[in-house]
Amino acid sequence: MDKPVLFLCTGNYYRSRFAEILFNTLASHHQLKARATSRGLAIELGTDNIGPLSDHARQKLLERNITHTSMERYPLQAREEDFQDASLVIALDEQEHRPMMQLRFPAWADRIEYWNVPDLWAASPHEALTAIERKVHTLVDQLKAKKT
């Protein structure tokens, strides 16, 4: 897989970043060529976001002994090129992100995969990050199966 998996959330601060870093760690561990990146659909809405990465995501990654230089990069806004350059695009919450996709990237709104992992207003960090972790493990397992 030469093109990356693209994870999307609203602010590229919490859910998509956790998915990206976890995916890249697991893919490397399993010697997969696949890699991931992440972007936000509306990073301007993250006015309360402090620093480069959510403390919830950082803590969950550190609990799994995962550290990566990408934990220090600041959120990035999604651009048209990000979709074109991806092998698979996953938005973390359909209810939240499909309307943003229809508004900002309408040509892509029905061409991406949607998960159902809500933001902090609707799910605790434990619930959301555990759900993302399960889904990322499933995705990596699917890629491992294709490799063999």
pTM over 0.85: yes
- Please state, in angstroms and rounded to a whole number, the distance separating the CA atoms of residues 123 and 105: 26
Q: How many CB atoms lie within 10 A of CB 12?
A: 28
Under a CB-based contact definition with an 8 Å cutoff, are residues 17 and 58 in contact? Answer: no
pLDDT (tens digit per residue) in 50-60: 888 999 999 99
Going by C-alpha positions, the residue among 24, 25, 22, 20 that lies closest to residue 78 is: 20
* Amino acid present at 73: R
Which CATH code of 3.30.360.10, 3.30.160.100, 3.40.50.2300, 3.40.50.2000 fits the domain covering 5-147? 3.40.50.2300
* Amino acid present at 137: H
pLDDT (tens digit per residue) in 65-118: 998 778 789 999 999 999 999 999 999 999 999 999 999 999 999 999 999 999
The pLDDT value given to residue 23: 97
Domain ranges across the chain: 5-147
46 pLDDT more than 80 = no
